[in-house]
Structure formats: C-alpha cells, structure tokens
A and B are shown apart, each in its own frame.
Chain A
Amino acid sequence: MILLILSIGLLIAFLSPSLHRIAKDNLGLLLAIYPLSFLLFLLSRGSSATVETHTWIERFNINFSFQLNELGWLFGVLVSFFAIFIFVYASKYMSYYKGAGRFFLALCMFFTAMMGIVLSENLISLFLFWEMTSFSSFLLIGFFHEDESSRRSAMQSMVITVGGGLFFLLGVLLLGHVVGSYEIRDVIAQKDLLIGHSFTPYIVGLILMGAMTKSAQFPFHFWLPNAMAAPTPVSAFLHSATMVKAGVFLVMRMYPALGWNEIFTTVLLLSGAITMLLGAWRSVVRLELKAILANTTISALGIIMMFLGLGTAKAIAAAVVFLFAHAFYKATLFLVAGNVIKAKKDKNIGNLAGNFKDMPQTGLASWLGALSMAGMIPFLGFLGKELLYGSAFEAGSLIAYILLGATFISSAFFVVVALRFSWYLFKPGSQDTGHELNSKELPFGLTLSPLVFSIGGLTLGLIGSLAFVQDKIAAMAGTILPEAFEKVDLGLWHGINGALILSIITLIVGFLLFKNLNMRESKRPVVGSEKSYFAFLSNMNKLASFHYQQMQTGYLRNYLGVTLLFLVVMIGVAVYIVGQPAPLNEILTVPPEYPFYQQVIILSIPIAVGIIFFTNSRVKAIITLGIVGFSLALIFIYYGAPDVAITQLLVETLTVVFFVIILHKLPEFKTFAPKYGNVGYFVISLIFGLAMTYVMIQVMYFDIPDTLKGYFGEASYLEGKGKNIVNVILVDFRALDTMGEIAVLAIAATGVISMLRLKDHSELNKSSNKKVS
C-alpha cells in the first residue's frame, strides 16, 4: 500500500510538467491533494508495528519494506502536513516564475522521497530514498539556474549530501555484513552482535557521516546556508521538517541499535555542540533574511543532535519536542521572509524595519513564529526549551551542565533573531518608508501557509497538556529509546523550577543582546571545513593540470616513458613479494660453452640491433632487421624446430619486402632534426632492460615441472595419426587457432586495403566538408 502510494507519487511528479499545462497557476493546489491524501491515509491507518514487505532483490536481501512505527508515523504526519501547505504556498509563489512544472516535479519527488525515508524499514531502500532527496533537492536548490551561485550551491549541496549518503551506504553494507539483514527491526533485535565487533566503530562512523552531512552538522554544515539559493517554499520545506531533519531522523531510527555506542553519542554531542554555537553566532551577524534563518536552522539541528547524544530519556523527549517546535516556527519564518522579500524586493534586514502596516497578516504570522522561537509561554517553542533545560538539569553531570550553558547561549541568540523578526521587522503600527510596496497586501495564497504554521505552533503548545498528545510524543520517544517511556510531561506550568528561571533569564539576556548588538554583516568566516572543500576542489584542478602538462601531453614517447617506469616498479614489487633472488654472481660466472657458429649468431644479433638503432640509412636498417630475423631462424634450427625456422625465414623475407616497398615511398630518415629523445627515456628503458634481463637470468634456478611434458606428444601420435608432431598439432588441435588467424589476416587485409586505396579524390573533399559526424 505504502509502496503503491509512493509510486503513484513519483508518477504524479513526472506528470506535473504536463499537468502544468492544464492547471496553470493552480498546479500547486491540485498537487496538494497528494500530500493531503497521504496525511489522511496515515491518520486513518494509525501507527502500527506491522511491516509491509515487497521483495526487490532477493540475493542482496534488499526489500522495499515499510513500517508505520510511532517514530515514522509521526514524522510522516509532520512531513505531509507541512507539504500540504508548502504546496499551497508554492502554488501562488511559483506563479511569479517560469518553469513551475519543473519545480513541482522536483518538489513532488522530494516529498515522495522524504516519505520513503521516514517509512522505510529496510536500510537499503531508506538509502535509495535518501539519495532521491539529495537529487531532488539539487533540482530545487538549482532552480534559479541562470544564477551562477545558485548552480554552484546546488552542486555543493548535492556533492556533500550524495557523498554522505554513499558513506552511509557503506556503513549499511558493513552492518548487513555483521547482522545479516538490512531490516531495521532485525538490526535492533540483534544489536548484541554489534557490541564488541571490530566493525562497529566504522559502522557507527559511516552511518553518522550520512546523518551529519544531511543534517548539516559540523564539519559538513557549510552547504546549508548556501542552499538558501532555492525558492522560498523550498527553503521553508527543506529547512523545517524535511531534508535536514532526515539526518536527525536517521539518528533517531538507528538509536535503538547504536545508541549504546560511546562513539555514536560522543560524536553527536561534540559536533552538535559546535554546530549549535557556530550557527547561533552566525545567525546574528548576517543581514540577509534567509541566511539568518538558515544559520538558526543549523544551530537548532545542533541542539537536537546534541540532546540525542546526551541520551537520557528526558533529553530524547526534549529533542523530539524541540524538533516539532522548530519545524513549525522555522517554516513560518521562512515563508515570512519569502513574503517580505517578495513584497519589498529587498532581502537585507537592515533596510526592512517596520512592515506591519504593509503586511499585517504576514506580520501576525511572524510574531507568532518568533515568539515560539524565542520560547515564550504558551508556544510549543517554550515547551521545547523547558524540556531541553529540564533534561540537562536532571542529567546533572558535568557534560550536561556544559551542554546547558551552550544551549543557553544559543537560545539567547535565538531570542535575538526572534526579536529581529518580530519587533524589528513588524513593530505594530510601524510604517516602512524606504520601499515601494508592490501590492497592498500579499494575496491570500501567500499568507495562509505562514499563518497556519504559526498557529499550529501555538495550538500544539496549548494542547500539550492533553494526554493524547503526550502519549503520542512518549510513544515516539519510546521508539527511539525503548527504556521506559510512559509519559512526557508537556504541561505549560510545572511550578517555579530551574528550567523556568533559566528560560526567563534567556529571554532577558536575549532582549539585552537585541538592544545592544548592532545589526551587521560580518564577513563570513570561511570555516576550516568549507575551506578544505574548496581547497580540495582547487587541488584537484592542480593535479589535473599537472596531468595535462606532464603526462597527457599528446606525445607518444611521453606516454610510453611514464608507463614503462611504472611497469618496472610493478615488476620490482612482484618479484620482491615472491622474494627468492637467485645468486647472480654464480650465474654470471658460468662460462658459456658454445660451438663457434652459435657464438657468431649470438653476437651478430645484438650488433645488428645496434645498427638498427643508430643508423640513419634506411637500407641498413632493413638489412639488419633481416639479419636479426635470419639469425633467429638459425637458432630455431639449432633447437630442432625446422618448420618454425622455415616459417620464420618466409615471414622475415615478407616483412623485409613490406618495409622496402613502404620505405620507397617515404622520405629519408634524417629529415628530422634530433634523432633521439632526452636522456631520461634512455635511462628508463635501460632500467627496464636490466630488470628483464635480471628476471631471465634467474630462470635456471627454477625447474620446470615435468608433469605436463609429453601429454601432447602421446596424444597427437595416436589421435592425429601423424608423425611430425608440430604439424599434427598445428593441423588438428589448432584448427581453431587457424580460424582465428584467418580472421586476423582478413582484418589486416581489409584494413590495409581500405586504408591505402584511394578510389576517388572526391573523398578527400567530402571528408573535409564533414569532419564531425
């Protein structure tokens, strides 16, 4: 069923460009039916432990299996709820731009992939959907492709997230290797296999790599602010409930299997803390509306990861609640930012004070969202922050207090940002004078969604004390950390305790900071990791140009030289590995015992070769080539292979004739200036020659196994009914070879003829007219 819905979703995605022709600007409204029906499906089905399995590739244990467990179900509800209103918003928003069909294709695909991630039970299919989100977000981020920086950001986010996904895949492969299944429930059931296994640290590291790249955790955080190049609805969707939460979701999903591991929690703690502080600080020193929000997203993700790393029951419940709170207010604020930019054609917050009169509805949404972000009672943001503080107090360890401090700092910065988005941007009764307003108030399509999200945040805060909500949250947290979750207290009032006091102090500090911090753009410090991303790119370019200039030069001898050098090294390595060097001096002192005629032959060959080598005369070269061939024929006779010798003579004669004919048509040798290349090549080939000779000299120390001797001799005599062994072998056993030879000769003949014949000279003109085809 789920698979069916997802496939239909993909189909819808691919149909949306065509649908765009029919539905025109209402395409988004039409397509919103898809997430709506998904939402209804989820609500009607409710969460359950049943697994829906579709076998896909049996030999790899890869199935499309889905489970509506508490975690996935709630995430699914969240994602599809957001999707509905994002679609609605985008429907209006995209009517201002070309290419809405393409946009909705990517958006539908993205939504489908996201649902696939949260509902997948099989890790491989989860990975597939994971990569699908990366790919579709690439399309979305790069939507304004006329813009160079937009393209670059899209590429960057793609490379980082796809890359992280592949590492995740490797982790999954290893995990499957250990556990023997890719089904998450099996992995969880058999997590004992992982404890103490030597692979576990790698598995943990690789899976975290996937989660951290996706959720923009330090040191992979830098792609996210760049990804705000996407159209606003996309940023709102990606940054609130979906893309970046996929990493968090993965950590939560794998928590029962890996949460016991110290590496897992430590990495989460550390990188979460760094990410949180980094994002929080950056968010107050940026002026671009969306950049501010992007950095708070990074910070919020850091907080969630960090509390997951803390790993107490309460901390996890806090992370879950904070995740929801963040989703609602962040989506609101992104859409608000989009509206402001749309209405004022300006994205610098410094120029945008006081918009309330111009856009009261957006302003209202912004206020509600910002109050939730600041953690005001009775918003969901307040509950989130209370729980965060409370859980840190409860944990009570040194680390927990450090975390508390860090959370406090970034929450204070959140308050600053929240005030900028409410008090500064939408001071009640204020009037912006700096900008021409495009229209009196933005159309309903653009104000509905931010209002819905902001009111959603408020409502959830109010109904938090209902048992039903608390049960759901507890159940969800229970899937993450099965150890005892009965109830998560989401009441607004717990009496005066440390958390409440700290919340109040946060607000005060935030307010003071807001008053005293100048709104300014600090030159964005390029953090080490982003620097190394770029350094990696530029070093790759350097390496590539080294390759051009030094190796792929177009000169054959260059190619041959490099190759040969490597070849000698390879032979050296191989012989070294075998490691039985024969005693050289012993071999070399064995006096040669040859009859005189053999000595002549042996000597004549190198001399002839030398002549080929150094001569400038064509005739001499050919003659000496002939001498080598004929001397070889003599050696063959000495070895008792007369038929080979005769063939050698024939072939040699033929070759010499070939060369003579061809040389007749070619110029003298000496027409080109320096005959030899540089000394380097000489040295390389000398080394090679020495290596070869060394290997050959060793031969005598290794006997040939004689178990194989004689097989052919006996068999051929009986079966082939012949006496000259070589001939019999040639005719019978080798009929196939002969067929092959015929093929070779046929090819050569055809090729030579077709290359050398010049049927008509018109061919020449023809080919110059049509060089490329």
Chain B
Amino acid sequence: MKEILLQGKEISKVFVGGGENVPILNRVNVRIFKGDFTVIMGASGAGKSTLLYSLSGMDDITGGRVEYKGRKINGLSEKETARLRANEFGFVFQQTHLVSNLTLYENILVAGYVGKCRPKEVRRKALALLAQMRVGEAKNRLPSQVSGGEAQRAAIARAVINDPGLIFADEPTGALNKAGSEEVLNLLSALSEAGQSILMVTHDVRAAVRGSRILYMEDGSIADELTLPAYRAADAKEREEKVTRWLSSLQW
C-alpha cells in the first residue's frame, strides 16, 4: 500500500466573472502518493493548473479540504504556509520565475536559507546542486544572462535545495526548446528515480511519459488515470505510444 502524501477531498474552485460563478474544479478527489511522479494532463481550461495550485496552497479553494501528510493545509496561517513552502514543497514554473537581480547561485541560496539547514550547509548543497544541474559555470550570472534551459535547471535546483517532500511543476518545459526540455525532463526523471515525489502539470505527451501515474482532467474533474511502470529511457517510445492511445481514447 502506497503512502498518501497529498490528498484533495471534494475540492471546489469557483471564479466569479461578469456577475456569474464559473466553476473550475468540481468537487475533485485526488491522492498523490509518496515517491510517485504524478502527471496531470488535460485540455486547455480543464482545470489542471488550478488543481495544482489549489493542492499546493498557492491558490485558495472555494470548498473542500487539502491534506499533506494527513494534516489539513488549506486555511493555515501565513507563517505556517510559508514554513510548509520552505520545508516541504518545491516549485518549478513554466516561466522560470527566478529573481532577476540575484545570480543563479543566490536564487538557490535564498530558498535554502529559509529552510531548516544552516547557511554553511545550504551553500555546500547549492554548489553541489548547481553542478548536478550542470549550471555550475553560470552560477554567478543573472537569470537574464543565461539560456532558458539553464535558468530552468537552476529553478529545479532551487526547488530541491530543502529536500522537499513534494515538487510541484507547472508546465516546466512550456517555455523551452526541444533540447532544453529534454534536459529538464531528464533531471526530473533522475530526481524521481532517487525517490523524489513530483506532481507535474503538462500538455506535452513527451513530458507526461516521464510520470508513473497520469491523471486526466476534463471540465474540472479527474476523468481517468493511467499508471505506468518506472521510466526508462529505452522504453520512451513505447510509453509515448501507450499514453497517446490512452489520451485518444479520452478524445484528447
């Protein structure tokens, strides 16, 4: 039996626009298991990014409950939420969202300093991560001075500096070219292989095949899910075909 890491119960999200309530998430029930590389897919407007941000506490929910490691996390105080983000969650965004006036190294350090480690330990880990993400050479450059791929790899290093329980990745390859996308996905796969729990939103099948579990969203609900064996580069083509077939069956 897999350990439930994050759980959404009856999650609803309603936007008010033009005097009308527009439901985005309809009483969604979802479980994210420890060690899984979970992928959320769906058509545009299906509510996949909204679900990701609702589960991560970055966005409010209209109804329902979100639990992380069995503890309710929606409605926490600002301080508790910040502590949760610092120590338990890591974020990778479509746009890299690095602070523009900090170097890549400093971007990683800032995230590390608000975590549990001592500053000296943070610095050591940050340097190791930069090397691991192959951006050690560019560590003293500003985000504007490196390529999109390098910046996103630095963003991944920032996401893992505090050994988070779960990484939330929202279209992490959305703004990258093919080579850059491949590098980022390889890093996420490597992290997953090392036991890191990841929840990723993507509309890219090549990115989705890296996951071990794919959730398909439609009209604010989870319509179906597909479980895959652990990713191996050699099986990539086969997985891609399998996922494409599955998506086709869902009329994606």
Chain B associates with chain A: no
